[in-house]
Amino acid sequence: MGKIEPFKQKVWLASPTMHGEELEYVTEAYNTNWMSTVGKNINEVEKIAAEKSEVKYAVGLSCCTAALHLCCKLAGERLYGKPAISHGALEGRRVFCSDMTFDATLNPVVYEGGIPVFIDTDRDTWNMDPVALEKAFEMYPEVKLVVSAELYGFPGRMDEIKKICEKHGALLIEDAAEAMGATIDGRQCGSFGDYSAVSYNGNKIITGSSGGCLLTNSLEDANKARKWSTQARENAAWYQHEEVGYNYRMSNVIAGVVRGQYPHLEEHIAQKKAIYERYKEGLKGLPVKMNPIVEGTEPNYWLSALIIDKDAMCKQVRNDSEALYIKEAGKTCPTEILEAIASINAEGRPIWKPMHMQPMYRMHECVGRAGSIRCRTNAYIAGGAEDVGADIFDRGACLPSDNKMTEEQQERIIWAIRSCFE
């Protein structure tokens, strides 16, 4: 295969796609001087976010991590009561968390003093494994909170996760940061959790450059979250505070961008789907598989990713910051594929590194279908359980998925990937 010319302008993994209405709403905020954390844009975003996610209430916040933090605080106080001012609402309590995800999914558990116990990944969905979750409840029946993420906009069976939580009297926090607009049996992601969160980060399916929403069907909880997000100020003429608060409220300017993006959500999903389908067709015949699509679900196709068949993997090793591989004819690895993509000025990324492999969480337990998975640095020692998340991380890569990428650009990226198997 001949040399592939690099792109003059970089093709991104996922970047903001703007349309014009955003500027109108931002200008409205500017002209009316509503530049802070109150205003019409925030009110409209909360209304639209709740309607789109099929919940009763949405609370506009500075980022999705802030939304997840307040989800954890709400869940903790609902389960265990209001903590002492120097403690978090989950202080000393185990919480079952997705393992293969971005650390923002579970860091809020730690903010509230909780102890994450990771649940391994379902190979057929790349999301939390319901069978492993059941096993975890057998091991720790006292656990009353589950935090589950939906990976890359390709949902697993969050409905099954919810049923398991209900069976064990546990609450569910649904991290739908990557899955806005995706559905399970026609029901919107973000509507399954007792508390849920969506993201408007710069690389998401729609964006405000930052921002997020907490989703709930409880007016009382929505009002609590809104109060906490503005430093928990009491209803008094002076600054009266009776509990810890946070500076988490969404800006009316950011909300203007989000408000202008929402009408284009379905358009962006259609563009992302077309990218996924072109990869699937263009990589036919190679020993790879694309993100799994679970029966009954409709993804939002936010990021297209592939996984290399085991027998087509060349030798690859990684430490905490570097990767090495040995080229073999007819075989490749994620490191080589990402290098090939980068060589033509396009951006790819590894699959999320599982949380139980992260230096800060290596001493935390991860539960698979057969029980605990033990991890020592990057050597996986299975206590009778297969480490699915580690295997997907080892063999998987995220591909350029920007919805402004042209078909010609994507074709060159596909050829770069194919060249790795020569």
pLDDT tens digits for 319-337? Answer: 999 999 999 999 999 999 9
- Dihedral pair phi/psi, residue 21, rounded to 5°: -60, -30
* Burial class for 209, CB neighbours closer than 10 Å (0-12, 13-18, 19+): middle
Is residue 381 pLDDT above 60, yes or no?
no
- Residues of the chain within CATH 3.90.1150.10 domain(s) are 265-419
Count of H helices and E strands in the chain? 12, 19
Confidence of residue 4 (pLDDT cuts 50, 70, 90): confident
pLDDT of residue 405: 98
What average pLDDT score do residues 328-354 get? 98
Alpha-carbon distance values, 246 to 67, 97, 231 (Å): 11, 24, 5
Backbone Cα Rg of the chain? 22
Is 21-264 CATH 3.40.50.20? no
If you count them, how many residues does the chain have?
422
CA distance 118 to 147: 10
Is residue 379 pLDDT above 50, yes or no?
no
Give the active site residues.
Answer: 204
Question: Of 4-8, 33-37, 63-67, which range is least confident?
Answer: 4-8
Homologous superfamily of 265-419: Aspartate Aminotransferase, domain 1 (3.90.1150.10)
Secondary structure (DSSP) of 282-313: HTTTSSEEE----TTEE----S-EEEE-GGGB
CA distance 204 to 359: 27
119: CB partners within 8 A, 6+ apart: 96, 97, 98, 99, 128, 129, 132, 133, 136, 146, 148, 366, 367
pLDDT of residue 304: 98
CA distance 89 to 84: 8
CA distance 295 to 125: 10
- Residues of the chain within CATH 3.40.640.10 domain(s) are 21-264
pLDDT digits (tens, 9 = 90+) for 357-370: 999 999 999 999 99
Report the first-to-last Cα separation within the chain, whole angstroms.
8
User: pTM of the full predicted structure?
Assistant: 0.96
